[in-house]
């Protein structure tokens, strides 16, 4: 974005005055409940993203009219006050950036503003904590022991054991989180710190199993700086790209030391909401025993990549070799010397092709549609590096700051910020792309050339972060064929153009469906349809149908079904957005009024 390209910086004192002038006027207008005056401090082209602090929602409004509407509907009860500049404002290319703290009637928050010509271009407001319900940290941390002599002393272990024995049986949790992957675990940790009685139910036996069960060669595609969990960052010697089983172990340790009530080997079967009681009736199978839980709030953390898309093809029943979805792929060991056909050309397809080739299989990749391929090093350098890297840490950008800077970019214009990153990468890696295209690989960089990350946010698919397999495709070590599969025979995969591929193994690296589909299995089609599609921005680009939502549909915010929530995403999103979801749940647990502004409507039923 040219506006943010570097230029001569004015004196800090001038910048502070500039930011202060705006802030004083803004605060005065808000205090006077003068919506028109407040709106006049926004540019015509403006965005206000609010994470819970004004709207009890995750919402971005665009343009002055929308800002006015937000203020008219929220100002009185939000009562924002005590705005103050935090640190020194900065300026680049005519945009002044400043961090602010502020308070509302119910909480304390952080804001970030970008001013152009003294008016708001972008504003981010976020709720950090609820007054009177702050997390017990630092000076208010628990003592952990009662010094003195007490014949009725109860130890920490005894307390934990009785909590674990009673919760869900003698007492009911406020919240049940279904799905104990990293998403459910991070949310569970936050709710524990906020004192919200919570059970996390997980089909697998142990925390971390959802990573352990993935294909053998998997390591995180995102680097460590992007992946920290709340409260307990990875140590400084943690690998840049953690192998999946190591992440599994970390999650298991984390769930234990963060004192989660984690019910492993527990499958949620069905749930219905009782309007009168304002509680869910949730039936779970806990290690073979049926238990009915009645939480007030139900969170689905079932995984954005949770429901495998398995194509139904004629002849599958005749095929004599092994066939499975990528999520069921056991790894390459059994396939040395065998013929493997991997259908798909995104992350899992490449990872699995690479591992099969390393094991000595004869591998063919079937590319059905174009893919965005970005070399991991290039993504680290240009995409994530400025916010999530050792270089960012050294320049003082800690994880929270990075998360907030990232959150401060409205989705509507994020593609404009992303495009130059991928333009640079395409230029830098031109030779690499040329080789791939020469091998027949169909590349894309998103409908509007905004690259991999926008594809992730819009559709959660369509890309490969290259850690080596692209080279195998480029040099023909992995054979590439393009087209749609029409059928399987006893020993072959047959494409629509008549190409026949001999196969001992077929892997369907064909992606995952919306979490809505998984939720429907538990709450029923009717409730799932009332909620609508989960994920996507409504950009109208491939696989992200409109209308424009401006936030990730149904994620971390109130839905059309009372007391039903969705949580998940990559490690960064799980970390960052679990805070806002936890605060919304805590407020409800405490009976704090939570008037939701701009409740999303339903689009695209399951």
Ligand X SMILES: Cc1cc2nc3c(=O)[nH]c(=O)nc-3n(C[C@H](O)[C@H](O)[C@H](O)COP(=O)(O)OP(=O)(O)OC[C@H]3O[C@@H](n4cnc5c(N)ncnc54)[C@H](O)[C@@H]3O)c2cc1C
- Positions in the binding site for ligand X (CB under 6 A): 178-184, 201-204, 210, 214, 218, 220-222, 267-268, 301-306, 347-348, 518, 522, 568, 570-571
By beta-carbon proximity to ligand X, the closer residue of 109 and 183 is 183
- Residue 411, class by beta-carbon neighbours within 10 Å (0-12 exposed, 13-18 middle, 19+ buried)? buried
By beta-carbon proximity to ligand X, the closer residue of 17 and 270 is 270
Give Cα separations from 570 to 25, 328, 454 (angstroms). 39, 20, 14
- The answer to whether the beta carbons of residues 450 and 531 sit under 8 Å apart is no
Contacts of 400 (CB under 8 A, 6+ apart): none
Half-sphere exposure (Cβ direction) of 263: Cα atoms closer than 13 Å: 28
Closest distance to ligand X from the beta carbon of 268 (Å): 4
Specify the residue for token string 């089909």. 203
Closest distance to ligand X from the beta carbon of 299 (Å): 11
By beta-carbon proximity to ligand X, the closer residue of 135 and 227 is 227
d(CA 557, CA 555) in angstroms, rounded, equals 6
Closest distance to ligand X from the beta carbon of 1 (Å): 26
User: Does residue 103 sit in helix, strand or coil?
Assistant: strand
By beta-carbon proximity to ligand X, the closer residue of 96 and 345 is 345
Closest distance to ligand X from the beta carbon of 538 (Å): 21
Closest distance to ligand X from the beta carbon of 591 (Å): 29
- The answer to whether the beta carbons of residues 62 and 12 sit under 8 Å apart is no
By beta-carbon proximity to ligand X, the closer residue of 70 and 365 is 365
Closest distance to ligand X from the beta carbon of 328 (Å): 11
By beta-carbon proximity to ligand X, the closer residue of 107 and 344 is 344
Identify the DSSP state of 206. S
Any bridge partners for residue 541, and if so which? 544
Closest distance to ligand X from the beta carbon of 386 (Å): 19
| Helix (H), strand (E) at residue 135 | none
Closest distance to ligand X from the beta carbon of 154 (Å): 32
By beta-carbon proximity to ligand X, the closer residue of 222 and 504 is 222
By beta-carbon proximity to ligand X, the closer residue of 550 and 568 is 568
By beta-carbon proximity to ligand X, the closer residue of 127 and 304 is 304
Specify the residue for token string 């924002």. 80
Specify the residue for token string 């590439």. 480
Closest distance to ligand X from the beta carbon of 105 (Å): 33
By beta-carbon proximity to ligand X, the closer residue of 38 and 365 is 365
By beta-carbon proximity to ligand X, the closer residue of 121 and 300 is 300
d(CA 413, CA 195) in angstroms, rounded, equals 38
Closest distance to ligand X from the beta carbon of 397 (Å): 19
| Dihedral angle computed from the Cα positions of residues 516, 519, 520 and 521, in that order, rounded to the nearest 10 degrees | 140
- The answer to whether the beta carbons of residues 301 and 177 sit under 8 Å apart is yes
Closest distance to ligand X from the beta carbon of 182 (Å): 4
For residue 109, give the nearest of 91, 77, 84, 140 by alpha carbon.
84
Closest distance to ligand X from the beta carbon of 532 (Å): 19
The secondary structure of 468-498 as a DSSP string is SHHHHHHTTSSEEEES-EEEE-SSEEEETTS
Give Cα separations from 190 to 140, 171, 263, 293 (angstroms). 16, 20, 17, 21
d(CA 180, CA 202) in angstroms, rounded, equals 5
- Residue 331, class by beta-carbon neighbours within 10 Å (0-12 exposed, 13-18 middle, 19+ buried)? middle
| Dihedral angle computed from the Cα positions of residues 255, 258, 261 and 267, in that order, rounded to the nearest 10 degrees | -20
By beta-carbon proximity to ligand X, the closer residue of 37 and 216 is 216
d(CA 528, CA 125) in angstroms, rounded, equals 30
């Amino acid at each position: 974005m040219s506006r943010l390209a570097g230029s001569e910086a004015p004196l800090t004192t001038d910048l502070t005055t500039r930011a202060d002038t705006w802030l004083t006027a803004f605060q005065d207008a808000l205090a006077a409940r003068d919506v028109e005056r407040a709106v006049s401090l926004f540019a015509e082209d403006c965005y206000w993203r609010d994470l819970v602090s004004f709207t009890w929602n995750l919402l971005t409004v665009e343009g002055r009219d929308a800002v006015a509407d937000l203020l008219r509907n929220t100002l009185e009860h939000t009562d924002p006050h005590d705005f103050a500049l935090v640190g020194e404002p900065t300026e680049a290319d005519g945009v002044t950036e400043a961090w602010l703290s502020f308070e509302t009637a119910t909480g304390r928050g952080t804001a970030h503003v970008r001013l152009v010509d003294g008016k708001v271009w972008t504003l981010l407001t976020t709720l950090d904590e609820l007054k009177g319900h702050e997390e017990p940290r630092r000076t208010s941390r628990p003592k952990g022991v009662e010094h003195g002599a007490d014949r009725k002393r109860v130890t920490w272990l005894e307390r934990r054991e009785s909590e674990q024995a009673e919760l869900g049986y003698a007492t009911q949790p406020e919240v049940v989180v279904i799905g104990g992957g990293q998403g459910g675990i991070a949310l569970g940790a936050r709710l524990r710190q906020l004192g919200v009685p919570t059970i996390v139910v997980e089909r697998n036996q142990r925390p971390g199993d959802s990573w352990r069960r993935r294909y053998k060669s998997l390591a995180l595609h995102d680097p460590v700086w992007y992946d920290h969990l709340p409260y307990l960052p990875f140590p400084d010697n943690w690998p840049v790209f953690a192998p999946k089983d190591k992440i599994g172990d970390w999650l298991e340790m984390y769930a234990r030391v963060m004192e989660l009530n984690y019910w492993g080997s527990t499958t949620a079967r069905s749930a219905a909401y009782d309007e009168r009681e304002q509680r869910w009736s949730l039936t779970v199978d806990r290690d073979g025993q049926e238990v009915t839980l009645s939480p007030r709030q139900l969170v689905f953390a079932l995984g954005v990549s949770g429901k495998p898309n398995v194509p139904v093809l004629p002849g599958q029943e005749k095929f004599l070799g092994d066939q499975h979805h990528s999520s069921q792929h056991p790894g390459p060991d059994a396939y040395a010397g065998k013929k493997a056909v991997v259908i798909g050309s995104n992350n899992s397809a490449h990872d699995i092709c690479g591992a099969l080739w390393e094991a000595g299989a004869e591998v063919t990749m079937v590319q059905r549609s174009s893919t965005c391929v970005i070399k991991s090093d290039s993504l680290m350098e240009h995409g994530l590096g400025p916010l999530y890297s050792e270089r960012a840490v050294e320049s003082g950008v800690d994880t929270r700051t990075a998360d907030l800077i990232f959150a401060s970019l409205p989705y509507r214009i994020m593609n404009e910020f992303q495009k130059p990153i991928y333009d640079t990468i395409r230029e830098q890696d031109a030779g690499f792309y040329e080789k791939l295209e020469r091998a027949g690989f169909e590349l894309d960089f998103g409908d509007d050339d905004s690259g991999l990350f926008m594809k992730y946010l819009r559709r959660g698919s369509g890309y490969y972060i290259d850690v080596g397999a692209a080279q195998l495709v480029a040099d023909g070590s992995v054979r590439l064929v393009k087209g749609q599969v029409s059928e399987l025979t006893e020993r072959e995969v047959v494409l629509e153009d008549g190409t026949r591929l001999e196969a001992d193994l077929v892997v369907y690296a064909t992606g995952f469906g919306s979490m809505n589909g998984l939720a429907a299995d538990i709450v029923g089609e009717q409730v799932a349809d009332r909620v609508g599609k989960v994920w996507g921005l409504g950009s109208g680009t491939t696989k992200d149908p409109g209308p424009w939502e401006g936030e990730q549909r149904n994620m971390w915010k109130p839905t059309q079904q009372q007391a039903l929530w969705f949580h998940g995403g990559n490690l960064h999103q799980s970390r960052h957005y679990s805070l806002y979801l936890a605060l919304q749940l805590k407020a409800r647990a405490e009976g704090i009024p939570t008037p939701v502004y701009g409740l999303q409507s339903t689009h695209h039923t399951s």
